[in-house]
Chains A and B, each alone.
Chain A
Amino acid sequence: MILVIAEQRDGVLHQASWEAVVAAQRTTQAVQVLVAGSGVMSVAEDLATADIDSVLMIDHPLLEAYTPDGFIEAISQVVRSMSPDAVFLAHTYQSREFAPRLAARFQQTLVTDCVATKQVGDRLVFVRPMFQGKFVADVAPVALSPCFASFQIGAFRQDAVVRGSDSAAIYPQEVVIQDDMIRQEVEPPFQEAKQAVDLSQAERIVAVGRGIKSKDHIELVERLAAALGAEVAASRPICDSGWLPMDRQIGSSGQTVSPKLYLALGISGAIQHLVGMKGSRTIVAVNKDPDAPIFEVADFGIVGDLFEVVPAIISALSE
């Protein structure tokens, strides 16, 4: 049996949880889904529409706000009593925080950021990127069960979830948690001052990555953007270095965009960046490394030095 741990906040299901359900449904095993929180009946009912054996619900006032200590304690009690063969999660910021430690409680390891599963003999094998997406690896936990895996957001389509003809049964789970087990004290989530730039509305975007090498060269990118009538954006390292403001960042920690044209200059294409732009209609990549993962999502590409190619594009546009 595969136990999928769904994620919710304030009674709203994280959409990537459906993708983890799809990953589980694609295996040959029975599927149960666990949701933890406080006042999560409606989330459990939503999950019960999937074609799964049952929904397990942990409803506890101490789980109203997510804390790693509270969730690890509660979920580990249910995992122990259910003895699943595998535990699946979506590779969200939240699961990255608690799931490795949950797995460690079972002397196990979490296989993170998986994009597919394979059954090899009696072993469940996980496919995941390595080396920033340059390679892909088949990985298997050494100990058999329960194995723990999290799935990259977007690796499975949420709308591929198989719905059941009837609602699955919902089983409330009794867990023992006390105040003093939870060492983290959390404050309400907040957003920084409203973003000045809404890149999601841009028709064309010129984005720049590490290949630009220095803040002094950003001007070259701005000239190309002006010639194309495009907004300037960047991958995370450029904003980390302060070469462009944070509100120009595309990717999992920045904005998600799908313009008509996305021109990626000197961006290798780590998954954290790709998730923010792979929905773009036409993607152009310029990179000196022919093996850069950005070329896997690009429609058009030039393998070359951006300091030669970009001025050439600017002059071709003016002709």
Chain B
Amino acid sequence: MKIAVCVKQVVTRDWPLRINDSHTWVDDRDASFEMNEPDAYALEEALRLKEQHGGEVVVCSAGPPRVNQVIREALARGADRAIHVEAESLASADGAMVAEALAAPMEEEQFDLVLTGLQSDDQGFAQTGVVLAEFLSIPHATIIMEVQVGAGRVRVKRELEGGWFQWVSMSTPALLTIQSGINQLRYATLKGIMAAKKKEVRLVEPPAELARRQEILMLSVPERTKEIRLFDGAPAEAAGKLVQALKDDARVI
């Protein structure tokens, strides 16, 4: 089975983000980056499916040259090769633009299964995978918690709201967006890291007419709508004041 996994590189979760001077994106010049967490679960699921059913796992990513970091990480965890659609303009691209950038090289590959994370930790539009399925003209299902592969078909457990689930089947090729927590993640071994250096990363130019589908007019810090009482001082002092307030003011203990 030939499986594609789309991964996105995002700013590290704990990075102290600042808004850039034009108020349209974050200033990520000195930031550290990591693999978008839901995509890491999609990668893990692809590796497990390959272990069960054989085949190959191809990592696909769209972004500037720095994206190579997460591609190498995915290769170190066990992916076989990679496709990198490379352009500076993809650094803060919306989901539909990313999907369009990935579509042409991915279509050539004729994958049986395409996996993506359900959303990104930065923009969080939750649509790159779904739109990619439209570009590839293949069926899709989202927020998947289990994948069963049969001959020419997949049966997947889709998470619904409020603790409900549903099994959905479709023929392959198909695209699935993977929910975090579907599996337990593995980490790269030293052997994997060494092996990754020899694996193929194919650089591809994005289509010439590629353009943004939505623009960020202004990025700002949300206004606080609720009054908050912050307790400062050393931990013992702050904790003492908090416990007092919970007893005397909130009366909840």
Is A139 in contact with chain B by the CB < 8 A criterion? yes
For the complex, give the distance between the alpha carbons of A229 and B246 in Å.
14
Query: Please, what's the 1-or-0 string for A279-301, where 1 marks a CB less than 8 Å from any CB in chain B?
Result: 00110100001010101111111
| A252 with B161: CB separation less than 8 A | yes
Whether A300 touches B229, Cβ cut-off 8 Å, given contacts A135-B17, A261-B246, is yes
Which chain A residues border B88 with CB–CB below 8 Å?
none
**Which of A109, A303, A311 has the most CB atoms of chain B within a 10 A radius of its CB?**
A109
Nearest CB of chain B from residue A191's CB, rounded to whole Å: 6
One of B126, B212, B221, B229 near A136 (C-beta < 8 A): B221
Whether A309 touches B216, Cβ cut-off 8 Å, given contacts A242-B184, A296-B226, is no
For the complex, give the distance between the alpha carbons of A125 and B19 in Å.
20
One of A125, A139, A189, A309 near B165 (C-beta < 8 A): A189
For the complex, give the distance between the alpha carbons of A69 and B130 in Å.
12
Within 8 A of A (CB), among B201-222: 211-222
**Which of A130, A136, A189, A289 has the most CB atoms of chain B within a 10 A radius of its CB?**
A130
- Chain B: number of interface residues, binned into ranges: 35 or more
Query: Please, what's the 1-or-0 string for B156-200, where 1 marks a CB less than 8 Å from any CB in chain A?
Result: 000111011111111100000001110010000000000000000
Is A100 in contact with chain B by the CB < 8 A criterion? yes
| A187 with B166: CB separation less than 8 A | yes
Q: How many residues of A contact B (CB 8 A)?
A: 88
Whether A186 touches B236, Cβ cut-off 8 Å, given contacts A253-B159, A282-B252, is no
Which chain B residues border A111 with CB–CB below 8 Å?
125, 214
Whether A189 touches B214, Cβ cut-off 8 Å, given contacts A101-B140, A240-B181, A309-B239, is no
| B122 with A130: CB separation less than 8 A | yes
Nearest CB of chain A from residue B9's CB, rounded to whole Å: 14
Is B232 in contact with chain A by the CB < 8 A criterion? yes
| A185 with B170: CB separation less than 8 A | yes
Is A96 in contact with chain B by the CB < 8 A criterion? yes
Query: Please, what's the 1-or-0 string for B234-253, where 1 marks a CB less than 8 Å from any CB in chain A?
Result: 01101110110110001011
Which chain B residues border A100 with CB–CB below 8 Å?
95-96, 125-127, 130-131, 134
Is A196 in contact with chain B by the CB < 8 A criterion? no
Nearest CB of chain A from residue B136's CB, rounded to whole Å: 11
Binding site for B on A (CB under 8 A): 68-69, 92-94, 96-98, 100-101, 103-105, 108-113, 120, 125, 129-143, 183-192, 195, 204, 210, 228-229, 236-237, 239-242, 246, 252-254, 260-261, 281-282, 284, 289, 291, 293, 295-305, 308-309, 311-313, 315-317
- Give the 8 A-B CB pairs with smallest separation, nearest first: A240-B181, A100-B127, A312-B239, A109-B213, A183-B139, A100-B130, A261-B252, A109-B96
